[in-house]
Structure 1
Amino acid sequence: MQIKMLLGCAALAIMGTSAIANAAPPPLDAYGELPAVTDMAISPTGRLATIVELQGERRIIAMDHDGAMLINAPTGEAKLRGLVWADDDILLITNSATVSLGPYFTASKYELTGTIIVSTKDRDAQLVFSRTSSIADTTRGSYGIRKIDDTTVGYFGGIALDVGSGGPRFRHGRATLYAVDLARNRAKRAAGPPAENHYSDWLIDAAGNVAATLDVAEGDGLWRIRNVKGREIARGVDKTGNVSLLCFGKDGSTIVYAIEDQDGNRRWFEIPLAGGSPDEFLADVRIERTYVDRATGRIFGYRERGSTPKTVMYDPKVDSAVGRIFEAFDGRSPRLMDWTPDFSKVLVRTSGNNDSGTWYMVNLATRRADPIGDERSNILPEDVGPISTVDYVAGDGLEMDGILTLPPGREAKNLPVILLPHGGPSSHDEADFYWWSQAFSSHGYAVFQPNFRGSTNRDDAFRRAGYGQWGRKMQTDITDGLAELAKRGIVDPKRACIVGASYGGYAALAGVTLQQGYYRCAVSVAGVSDIELMYKTDLLESGQSRMTGRALREELGDPKSYDEISPRRFARQADAPVMLIHGKDDTVVPFKQSHVMADALKDAGKPYELIELEGEDHWLSRGETRKQMLRAAMRFVQKYNPTD
């Protein structure tokens, strides 16, 4: 299937006007701005909806099949996380807000998620549960959308309230499962909350029944799966709670669940809903993602991770169609984002070399792929720095890799370099367009994103190799990557800075405190500086959950050693200037982590800057503060590690 660059009316509304040519690199703000297209979704009959920025304003747009506008509404300051069609007339939009719940809660602020129901018929918008005074206006998980007797029903976790003369109060923090008539926004209880110090997960079958319930006891880690009749069909013990329900099997008579075995390997099992012996599911396959039917919750395919990724669909016709899509976009890092139930139309997103993020509507019947969304129209293909994967070996012999981004049009020789470790740390980087690394490469820097041990791009043994290695081997994995690039002559190791966010921010601080002699500067965005403080904060905010404590100790090691890996405790050893950037509304890594690091650097007489991002969260969700962060980080890096 050949990709055709043919734009219809609907595409033009979303694509906007691209820059014709860039004699000079794009302005820095072009990288720091939120993408012009945040998300897209396609309805069962092919209607399109998107969160898009038009003329400097973020909007929700929904269009009919012929491109006629159904909805065109501004979003204001709302932090929109995604959207999905519940049916042909109802959109569900996920948002979040940072809120304070008062003195009786363990955290000063929480990031609460809401689900907005938008009707294309009357253009009405309202939060799920807003018509039910006994349920808080926040959703705690989405468990599917089902068609029940011609009624579209959404299943959501919700927080029950006690309604009295003093106003509504939280009954407890455990989620109850509700079935919501989306056209009327009326909720009824589908399953009760778990017992105290337990948590639950649910699978909803095609008929709207709670077909499987997972219950996990936080105290001893005992977990049980029960079917619709309450019969126990599986059980086990995992003291860190690494068990979850995934989906139904392909014919709906089984369920698939995931556990972590005693060796730390994540394994999937399939078991009949009626009961029986579990069978291991896709035992020898490294799964990148699964494809699940939104109407039934049944798996219908998966994509296998590897040097040559493979997609398998159980329906031969769908398998053939999807194979043609991946062939057509070969070399563009395509991702299937949404599709009609018959797979006649598919939304595909691409990014990577020569591509700063593009959305396509693929019509299998006409064999056309039309670009309908450009995430960064001011960054042209020639502006995108070359992206590649670099394999290397750590000092102890462990094989790993990282993503290298080079400055456009410059020889890859003795370049100044930015080490940009990812957050998580249970995450990984891929050879895609990444706005932060591309911003630095556009200003003349090579950028290396190491997938250090503990990352999720390899097997379970590699992920678990990071346990207990914060500030230790996870840190030296980064400098081993720097050494590899220097060995190849690509970078000048004497002109290196380290920059990162979240765990990457921790690694940036550790790079100039726990390590010395590698970096000219460090920029930590929302980074952890004190491991003991993080441990105590996470434990407190979990309600002193023993399961949370065990999981933290498994990842971080013995609490007695936390001072040994805390950059704050080694501020006097800092051998390069430090910039600390942190959002005041961060609910993941509290602002206090940067504040105490700033105090330690000040007391030690070390050069540092602290930049507070007002109203910003952990994910840099605001366009203006994201650009503020990028400008500050670039200024700091250019000051201490100039390209010339």
Structure 2
Amino acid sequence: MRKKMGLCGAVLALGWAGVAQADEAGGATLAEKFGAREGIEAMSLSPDGSHVAMIVPMVRGQRVLIADLVAGGAPKGIFAVEGYNKTGNAISRLRRCQWSTDTRLVCSIYVQTFAGGILNGFTRLAAMDSDGGNAKILSAQENGRDLYVANYGGRVIDWTGDKPGEVLMTRQFVPQATINTRLAKSDEGLGVESIHTVTLQRHTVEAAKRNAADYISDGLGRVRVMGLMKEIPGGYSSGVIDYFYRKADGDVWRDLGRLDQSDGNLATGFDPQAVDPALDVVYGFEAQGNGRTALVRIKLDDTAMRETVLSRDDVDVDSLVTIGRQHRVVGASFATERRQVEFFDPELRKLGAALQRALPGNPSISFVDASADEKRLLLFAGSDVDPGMFYLYDKTAHKLEQILASRPDLAGLTLSPMRPVRYLAADGTEIPAYLTLPAAGTGKDLPAIVMPHGGPASRDEWGFDWLVQYFASRGYAVLQPNYRGSAGYGADWYQKNGFQSWRAAIGDIDDAGRWLVSQGIAAPGKLAVFGWSYGGYAALQSVATEPGLFKAIVAVAPVTDLDRLRADANGYTNGVLVDRFIGHGEHVESGSPARHAASIAAPVLLFHGDVDANVGVSQSRLMAETLREAGKGVDYTEFAGLDHYLEDSQARAVMLAKSDAFIRKALGLAP
């Protein structure tokens, strides 16, 4: 198989040079190389398998490119968003672009506006021809009589309509004022429409329901599952969704189950994900008696028979693997030391194993998209030391071809292997983690960084990480602990979440630093902590259990005061859930680092985007202010027009370079 690998035409490969961000000869620093955004942010395959659509970065913005996999040639730009609009005080992001026909695309656009101190997010779907022409908004257009503006622009839940180009799409119906008209509409809530992506002809498939929260189709044009949100006063989300199903030949909705996330933490009950029309089942996730999440399927007939498809005693089964335009369920995945896929489809199981053996470095492989007949497969392969490559596999020709690299800026650089380790916490609990050492050297007596992940309802996994690889390239050992409070290891490990159970989470993070020293990996006095989002919170809060352990603290977009985080959610639909997630009690005071700035002995470096909708910029501003008032060393960089993820190559390069210089100075290292 390896001998059959090749480029999809040399012209296509050469054409990419004009798309990737320029790397001035000998002038790009490591920070610029690692900080550069992914060269390919998303990719999809046309139904006939002849073209791919790609979302690629521009300076502060993004473009959609179309590449012809048959004729070759340079990819052609057809559409762009500018990113930050300073005049309009808004940011725009392309989230995905998929094909409705061989010549028509549907793109999801997220727009965030900032006015009067309020951040508002909007989604809209747009359709356009593959040459960029005939662009139209698919989302329902606003009417002057609408009583409010719909933030949610809907999503495509089924790409197989009655006619080519038709899709099923959710719609947020908005009631209209009745004054001086007999034509006002009273429909309100989430419904489903069939829409032709060229003509925009639309008709209602599922009438709006005020408390509807979810619809799932069978991939054949029929809605089979519906979720209704339990209502609470004030318009807030309750976190409780009652699901219903209908039989293949019926219209009556029947009880399927309840999903309950009312405390803002781990969900209980059945969480449906996809319908398999051939088996007449719905797949979903559900916590088992051992506290681990398993994949379950339920028959959509009179029996409603329930079957556990895949479960584990050590970790959660947390991801469904689907393929093609009908999102055919072909497997499920879970992460132990490395993410693994259990394929239900025998052909894909065999193919995935063969491709993994054929490609260098035993990479992880994921199937990204497929042609309508599933004879051409778009896949992505990458590893800890390989940022990844997109490939096209032709089943008929048994041929695997490279398309494009995910991060061309890192070509030629030697990356550092990430290996799973376990260390003991103070109470004897074994904590899973990932250790990355510089590619050269003995791996001993190094400056070291503990890097807690964000979330906290998340976890680190084996694979390429641009932050980790940058610091390893600069000579640091990096340890990523999956501390208690992380997701993926069941309810007992998650505890009450990383805020309410901050002592366990932060204790594990501090124990990670102590372990690095005890193993001789970190030189005494050469420890730093770096975190983003909750990880930034953890970096700042680490002083609560071990004030002198870390000699430098870097926090990107951190939570610094829990009551302020609660207040920031007021007025949004998730306000009640955020309140319950944070909880009330002593931990709010003791677990808010901005209230304990005087106890922070190490210098602090802060970064934040000023239009962050996840963690308000006021959190970092407050932390910087309290540190200065306490006479502590703090350096704060605020990026205008950037959100929580700092999706800008220049800003990321600045963040990396400043962090490295800051840590080196604090640890007494040479520049």
Return the TM-score normalized by structure 1: 0.88
Does structure 1 retain, via aligned residues, the 8 Å contact 2:324–2:374? no
The alignment status of 1:318 with 2:332, answered yes or no, reads: no
The match for 1:75 is: 80
Distance 1:345-1:464 versus aligned 2 partners, 3 A rule: farther
The alignment status of 1:201 with 2:214, answered yes or no, reads: yes
Post-superposition offset of 1:156: 2.9
Larger displacement relative to structure 2 (337-346 or 32-41): 337-346
Does structure 2 retain, via aligned residues, the 8 Å contact 1:30–1:376? no
The match for 2:645 is: 619
Larger displacement relative to structure 2 (123-132 or 556-565): 123-132
Instruction: Tell me the distance in 2 between the aligned counterparts of 1:615 and 1:304.
Output: 36
The match for 1:276 is: 303
Deviations 1:124-167 (A, max 9, x none): 3333226564784852444232231334214134353637899x
The alignment status of 1:577 with 2:603, answered yes or no, reads: yes
Post-superposition offset of 1:642: 4.4
Instruction: Tell me the distance in 2 between the aligned counterparts of 1:380 and 1:617.
Output: 28
Q: Equivalences for 1:283-322 in 2 at 5 Å?
A: 283-285=310-312, 286-287=316-317, 289-306=319-336, 311-322=341-352
Instruction: Tell me the distance in 1 between the aligned counterparts of 2:620 and 2:56.
Output: 33
Instruction: Tell me the distance in 2 between the aligned counterparts of 1:282 and 1:557.
Output: 35
**SS at structure 2 position matched to 1:356:** strand
Larger displacement relative to structure 2 (424-433 or 339-348): 339-348
The match for 2:625 is: 599
Deviations 1:52-78 (A, max 9, x none): 358998532112332256842352424
Post-superposition offset of 1:260: 4.5
Unaligned runs of 5+ in 1: none
Instruction: Tell me the distance in 2 between the aligned counterparts of 1:289 and 1:259.
Output: 12
The match for 1:229 is: 251
Letter in 1 for 2:596: F
Post-superposition offset of 1:615: 0.2
Distance 1:48-1:235 versus aligned 2 partners, 3 A rule: closer
Larger displacement relative to structure 2 (53-62 or 478-487): 53-62
Does structure 2 retain, via aligned residues, the 8 Å contact 1:255–1:271? yes
Deviations 1:499-555 (A, max 9, x none): 11110110111123553011111111110000122123335422653x5544x1xxx
The match for 2:260 is: 238
1:179 is matched with which residue: 194, 217, 238? 194
**SS at structure 1 position matched to 2:6:** coil
Does structure 2 retain, via aligned residues, the 8 Å contact 1:131–1:186? no
Deviations 1:194-214 (A, max 9, x none): 43xx44211113442222212
**SS at structure 1 position matched to 2:408:** coil
**SS at structure 2 position matched to 1:40:** strand
The alignment status of 1:60 with 2:86, answered yes or no, reads: no
Larger displacement relative to structure 2 (334-343 or 446-455): 334-343
Instruction: Tell me the distance in 2 between the aligned counterparts of 1:237 and 1:450.
Output: 30
Q: Equivalences for 1:508-523 in 2 at 5 Å?
A: 508-513=539-544, 515-523=546-554
1:84 is matched with which residue: 82, 87, 98? 98
Letter in 1 for 2:242: W
The match for 1:255 is: 282
The match for 1:128 is: 138
Distance 1:437-1:239 versus aligned 2 partners, 3 A rule: closer
Does structure 2 retain, via aligned residues, the 8 Å contact 1:406–1:446? yes
Distance 1:507-1:140 versus aligned 2 partners, 3 A rule: farther
Distance 1:138-1:324 versus aligned 2 partners, 3 A rule: same
The alignment status of 1:344 with 2:386, answered yes or no, reads: no
Instruction: Tell me the distance in 1 between the aligned counterparts of 2:382 and 2:191.
Output: 39
Instruction: Tell me the distance in 1 between the aligned counterparts of 2:24 and 2:423.
Output: 37
Instruction: Tell me the distance in 1 between the aligned counterparts of 2:2 and 2:460.
Output: 29
The alignment status of 1:414 with 2:445, answered yes or no, reads: yes
Larger displacement relative to structure 2 (404-413 or 610-619): 404-413
Instruction: Tell me the distance in 1 between the aligned counterparts of 2:606 and 2:381.
Output: 33
Letter in 1 for 2:176: D
The match for 2:90 is: none
Does structure 2 retain, via aligned residues, the 8 Å contact 1:428–1:451? yes
Instruction: Tell me the distance in 2 between the aligned counterparts of 1:394 and 1:22.
Output: 47
The match for 1:429 is: 460
1:116 is matched with which residue: 126, 132, 142? 126
Q: Cα RMSD between the aligned structures?
A: 3.5
Letter in 1 for 2:222: N
**SS at structure 1 position matched to 2:309:** coil
Over the matched positions of the two proteins, sequence identity in percent amounts to 24
Distance 1:327-1:5 versus aligned 2 partners, 3 A rule: closer
The match for 2:40 is: 37
Instruction: Tell me the distance in 2 between the aligned counterparts of 1:544 and 1:308.
Output: 35
Instruction: Tell me the distance in 1 between the aligned counterparts of 2:406 and 2:668.
Output: 29
The alignment status of 1:370 with 2:401, answered yes or no, reads: yes
Q: Equivalences for 1:321-336 in 2 at 5 Å?
A: 321-329=351-359, 331-336=362-367
Does structure 2 retain, via aligned residues, the 8 Å contact 1:356–1:380? no
Does structure 2 retain, via aligned residues, the 8 Å contact 1:148–1:208? yes
1:491 is matched with which residue: 501, 505, 522? 522
**SS at structure 2 position matched to 1:31:** helix
Does structure 2 retain, via aligned residues, the 8 Å contact 1:159–1:170? no
Post-superposition offset of 1:361: 2.3
The alignment status of 1:441 with 2:476, answered yes or no, reads: no
The alignment status of 1:148 with 2:174, answered yes or no, reads: no
Distance 1:356-1:424 versus aligned 2 partners, 3 A rule: same
Distance 1:74-1:408 versus aligned 2 partners, 3 A rule: farther
Larger displacement relative to structure 2 (184-193 or 17-26): 17-26
Question: How many pairs does the alignment contain?
Answer: 633
**SS at structure 2 position matched to 1:366:** coil
Instruction: Tell me the distance in 2 between the aligned counterparts of 1:501 and 1:356.
Output: 20
Post-superposition offset of 1:171: 8.7
Distance 1:472-1:24 versus aligned 2 partners, 3 A rule: farther
Instruction: Tell me the distance in 2 between the aligned counterparts of 1:544 and 1:211.
Output: 30
Does structure 2 retain, via aligned residues, the 8 Å contact 1:61–1:69? no
Instruction: Tell me the distance in 2 between the aligned counterparts of 1:301 and 1:430.
Output: 19
The alignment status of 1:389 with 2:420, answered yes or no, reads: yes
Letter in 2 for 1:178: E
